[in-house]
Structure 1
């Protein structure tokens, strides 16, 4: 699949496009550490139903590039939300269904919460993905803290050096831990791991995991968004939460109470036999949910 480059906000975003340009829009957003290949089983099926499907590489991944060397290499949640909104504006998309997981799910939740008029519907893996940064100092259970070992590791220079020196091996370990039942092949992983060679991948990832724990400053240009997110705004658009039953970093119990954050039409589905990298492991629930939200008359 070839990509186009779209100038959007502070980025030149690499985007893969599927389906008719005049169809109802759906934007599919990957997570960490992944790339657009995670949607290969989803995007063509949606395009075949007449949707205009937009699949971008997030900041720090693949061919996407920061436009200005002085722009902070920030992976904070407000920056991801701003990127998505800027991409919609650049492509002339007034309203779209948004679908994503991990970092991409966070961007989708942010736009759905703060700019609901731009969102036809939301499909978010693992629930309400807006971070409670003010509450990040509260420790979780020891089991949960252990699952986040990589985040604490990246707070150290040793961890940063490890990611820089062998990012492919670092990230492949996360894939094995987070999707323990998925039969990942070397060839499949290599197609995505190439995206981690982006020159800004390490800096963007490190800032993301430090910022959410109040260990790194944010980008002043998006502080106004971060201020709005501090209130943990509800998501009012029609929403579906998908959660992999075998998710090794964010188990299904974590989304059991997520309905309270969604005040519009809402359903939650736990998908058996599926881990964290949900779209590539189980495309069908995503296809069905996105089509439902996009093609069903409001």
Structure 2
């Protein structure tokens, strides 16, 4: 069921499934995807008593900014703050949080900075908090070429290209990042509707410029960014997942940061799955959530 809540900055749209008194789970999508990434995960969880909430991130679907004056920020601190605000407004004291890509980053941020609100974490691609101070240091060419879309969006040509070709641009990323996932036109179209949000381009461009120090962030998040700059550890029980065929973050990449998980932690490589792991391998993702639930019962 699609619902809405209002925070100080946003009217957040979210899908809710399960009984209101179920054990709460928040699932967060990435770029360029939407809540349909969890369409086959949620039923597996609600069948085991979960209350599942899947929000549209800022800039996606029906989620809207309340004021035209608010910076359309896509910085990591904004995503974490939005998740915390959602928990506060709905009145969820503690939840299992799962996500990938942008959603995995928001989940890692809340788990690191507000661990009392996080019963456990499932994060695709490991420790997702950005090391912005080190972003200007080039990586090896094999990794750099996979990030072409980020560099493209650093210039105004890229912004114009995304604005005019957002569906073709995003579909190309789907195919590059999940090379063996045979999604059909209807599956893509359901998610692509979320990219018609009037703030999508601004939020996406700001995200990929801020993380490289090319644009300032929203001053309201300065304190959170300062706390994230030290790459805080994550102490809550965590399962990290990696898609075996992930075309943008192959297995073994961010797990160089495995020491950032200081509590119970297990990493799993999921066969025949790419970057959009929850939608490609819903059983594996749901199993990880259920395992966290069992660990912390």
Same fold (TM > 0.5): yes
Cα distance in 1 for partners of 2:50, 2:7 equals 22
**Contact 2:119–2:236 under 8 Å retained in 1:** yes
Aligned-residue offset at 1:23: 1.1
Where 1:90 maps in the other structure, the secondary structure is helix
Query: Which range is displaced more, 252-261 or 43-52?
Result: 252-261
Matching of residue 64 in structure 1 with residue 63 in structure 2: yes
1:51 — aligned with what? 50
Aligned-residue offset at 1:143: 1.3
2:189 — aligned with what? 190
- Give the TM-score, by structure 2 length: 0.98
Q: How does 1:28-43 map to 2 (within 5 A)?
A: 28-43=27-42
Q: How does 1:1-298 map to 2 (within 5 A)?
A: 2-298=1-297
Structure 1 residues 213 and 297, CA gap change in structure 2 (3 angstroms):
closer
CA deviations on 1:84-110 (whole Å, 9 max, x unpaired) are 000000110000000000000000000
Aligned residues: 297
Cα distance in 2 for partners of 1:63, 1:295 equals 34
Cα distance in 2 for partners of 1:297, 1:42 equals 20
Cα distance in 1 for partners of 2:293, 2:12 equals 24
**Contact 1:26–1:294 under 8 Å retained in 2:** no
Cα distance in 2 for partners of 1:41, 1:262 equals 28
**Contact 2:3–2:13 under 8 Å retained in 1:** yes
Structure 1 residues 165 and 82, CA gap change in structure 2 (3 angstroms):
same
Where 2:59 maps in the other structure, the secondary structure is coil
Aligned-residue offset at 1:294: 2.1
CA deviations on 1:223-274 (whole Å, 9 max, x unpaired) are 1100000010000000000000100001112034232010000000001111
**Contact 2:127–2:255 under 8 Å retained in 1:** no
Query: Which range is displaced more, 193-202 or 283-292?
Result: 283-292
Where 1:263 maps in the other structure, the secondary structure is coil
**Contact 1:9–1:83 under 8 Å retained in 2:** no
CA deviations on 1:117-148 (whole Å, 9 max, x unpaired) are 00000000000000000111111011111100
RMSD: 0.9
Where 1:122 maps in the other structure, the secondary structure is strand
